[in-house]
A = this chain, B = another copy of it.
């Protein structure tokens, strides 16, 4: 048998307070699968110590831009690894890459973090 509801709970009747007409299998406040997958993909880009440190380093040099060779030292990672993390952050929309000549400069995308925060469940808005 499956694990869906087969017995009433003693005291609590879970009422669906969402929009009338929504599926009986859904609870109020449900996040659809596509939204969840998108947000999870973005959060996965953040959920790495090296990438968090990259963001902190770039944020701490607001105005000034940072190139790969500035990061290998503080992070203690090889150049290919740092380049990989930067690519992940650029693909996720947190950084922009600006290649001028031989050097590649990275800077924060304003509002990218706020957008993620706003999409979090239970964090409706920033005042």
| A interface residue numbers (CB < 8 A to B) | 2-5, 9-10, 12, 14-15, 17-18, 25-31, 33, 36-37, 39-40, 43-44, 46-53, 55-57, 59-61, 64-70, 72-74, 78-79, 101, 103, 108, 113-114, 117, 120-123, 126-127
Question: Do A59 and B117 form a contact, CB below 8 Å, given A36-B53, A72-B3, A122-B108?
Answer: no
Find out whether the CB atom of A121 lies under 8 angstroms from the CB atom of B52.
Answer: yes
Selected from B40, B66, B120, the residue in CB contact (under 8 A) with A27 is B66
Question: Do A14 and B52 form a contact, CB below 8 Å, given A3-B78, A43-B43, A122-B113?
Answer: no
Interchain CA distance A25-B78 in the complex, whole Å? 15
Find out whether the CB atom of B121 lies under 8 angstroms from the CB atom of A55.
Answer: yes
Oligomeric state, in copies:
2
Find out whether the CB atom of A101 lies under 8 angstroms from the CB atom of B64.
Answer: no
